[in-house]
Structure 1
């Protein structure tokens, strides 16, 4: 039986800045004596899972697949800083949410001292930036430099997320500096949920909207939207990133079979956005979303499990096919 401790329905699929970590993580958890006494065996694969929907479902999918191979799994809902420390101390085994560039400064010292490893980018391409509705895109709004020509249609407004986020600050810097003709524009900061509600209403009424978007996220599935191109290296219109799989440094020594699975467990932005849509927007259980997706996408699962076996040495895909 998969143990899933994650149930909140958050809208965010990722952290948009290091400063936003406090908004989307639980209070710092202290390891108990019993936790510290846990043996570092990969008979049980221990996940560190921050409370973000994309990582919730992604960790659940990986857990269900490993369970089918005969491993026990445990998911610990923790703040990112606690997860990384636990990985370095070998109290956790894997973290599927190493967001770049937002977490670079947190990951760098642990990577440098060799206490953790990055073994693959499970989402090779993640994006944060200014997006526009399809009507605006079709009218020719393709770059941040195009916005000022259509100020009336946009009401000289960009819908933003929580104050203090990295992308908000980048847009505010552009406005404050009067660049790209946006000196008299306004960034309307609010919660992510409030912003997406406003954008959804704009789309329903056929109005234009410019707003902060990111992927993976359900908005990319639910909304017909497009990301603007940057005119320079400011990152105001679009900041490209990635999401790395981070593991304890000795994982290959402990279990090369598990290490191979995680090296091949590349999800991609589109798949994770689908998971977030089902879990966060449709409010379905993470375990149900995961098991249904596995059953319906055995071709993708077969790529993840190429050369991987069950704990008793039989082909992994045979075990998965018989259970899903």
Structure 2
């Protein structure tokens, strides 16, 4: 009897040791798998349109087990970072304006997905300027605008496009560059006293909800309706294939981006909360992007 009991205890001890060993191996494998996921860096330009898609992508990527960081930079620096691998993803590439960056860095970056189309951009004026409906209408009245046209930061590719527009339309105007917020603040000061002002505008943006403004017709076609795309460093597909798959399936309607911008900018709801709300309300869409 003692031998039977001893044999049973020995067998149980062996089973316990084997079980612990297997559990430790599984834990080690899981930890190793977790360690294999790289940190993903998202590029963030100083544009309101960049914020909602970036925040949504960050939450989803973190739920997938990735550590996610954000790097603030102007558009030019963001594309340089993408080309070098310092930045992995940019959620707000504007095309065809940003074609110049693809041409320059096409060996190391790629257009991974279309976020949304039909994003209009161009020169805007207040609606109280009833006689100004086309860029051509600015010709001959440049002095009314103090010969100034307000644009965003100098590092943005659209800055050169606007300089080219001034030449194309032979306007006696100079582009005054500042941040997006600085540009809008300058325009607001003019609009408060209903003075003539012309500045760069685009959708999605709260400016079309906040101000009574209109986009000028562009008969010479300097500006085109934009398509906004997700841009990634080409190494991401190898280093984070599931993250790349998710991003390659990415899409979001323009009007939903604009609604989120309004919540963040006007209603002052934290951007993380706005992004999480969108995810919660569009779980089927999220699952589709994740390939579930």
Does TM-score exceed 0.5, indicating one fold?
Answer: yes
Instruction: Give deviations 1:159-207, integer Å, cap 9, x for gaps.
Output: 41258522441343246x3xxxx55xx4462534343224334545555
1:245 counterpart residue number = 230
Instruction: Give deviations 1:302-324, integer Å, cap 9, x for gaps.
Output: 23432636xxxxx5xxxxxxxxx
Going from structure 1 to structure 2, the CA distance change for 1:41 and 1:269 (only over 3 Å counts) comes to farther
Larger radius of gyration: 2
1:143 counterpart residue number = 134
* Alignment gaps of 5+ in structure 1: 1-38, 310-314, 316-324
C-alpha distance in structure 2 between counterparts of 1:124 and 1:41, whole Å: 37
1:160 counterpart residue number = 150
Please give the residue correspondences for 1:177-188 in structure 2 after superposition, counting only pairs within 5 Å.
177=170, 182-183=171-172, 186-187=173-174
**Any conservation in 2 of the 1:163–1:189 contact (CA below 8 Å)?**
no
**Any conservation in 2 of the 1:42–1:255 contact (CA below 8 Å)?**
no
**Between Structure 1 and Structure 2, which shows a larger proportion of helix residues?**
2
- TM-score between both structures, scaled by the size of structure 1: 0.61
RMSD of aligned residue pairs (Cα, Å): 3.8
2:82 to 78, 81, 84: 84
Going from structure 1 to structure 2, the CA distance change for 1:203 and 1:153 (only over 3 Å counts) comes to farther
1:106 counterpart residue number = 101
C-alpha distance in structure 1 between counterparts of 2:136 and 2:104, whole Å: 38
* Alignment gaps of 5+ in structure 2: 1-32
**Any conservation in 2 of the 1:261–1:305 contact (CA below 8 Å)?**
no
2:249 maps to 1:261:
no
2:18 counterpart residue number = none
2:122 to 116, 124, 129: 129
**1:142 alignment partner, SS class:** coil
2:205 maps to 1:217:
yes
2:176 to 189, 202, 224: 189
C-alpha distance in structure 1 between counterparts of 2:235 and 2:183, whole Å: 43
C-alpha distance in structure 1 between counterparts of 2:112 and 2:91, whole Å: 10
2:274 maps to 1:294:
no
Offset, 1:124: 2.5
2:163 counterpart residue number = 169
Aligned residues between the structures: 250
Offset, 1:144: 1.7
Instruction: Give deviations 1:99-140, integer Å, cap 9, x for gaps.
Output: 3344333322543x3x4332212143444321122333xx46
Instruction: Give deviations 1:7-51, integer Å, cap 9, x for gaps.
Output: xxxxxxxxxxxxxxxxxxxxxxxxxxxxxxxx9987456133234
**2:288 alignment partner, SS class:** coil
Going from structure 1 to structure 2, the CA distance change for 1:65 and 1:168 (only over 3 Å counts) comes to same
**Any conservation in 1 of the 2:163–2:175 contact (CA below 8 Å)?**
no
Offset, 1:75: 1.6
- TM-score between both structures, scaled by the size of structure 2: 0.66
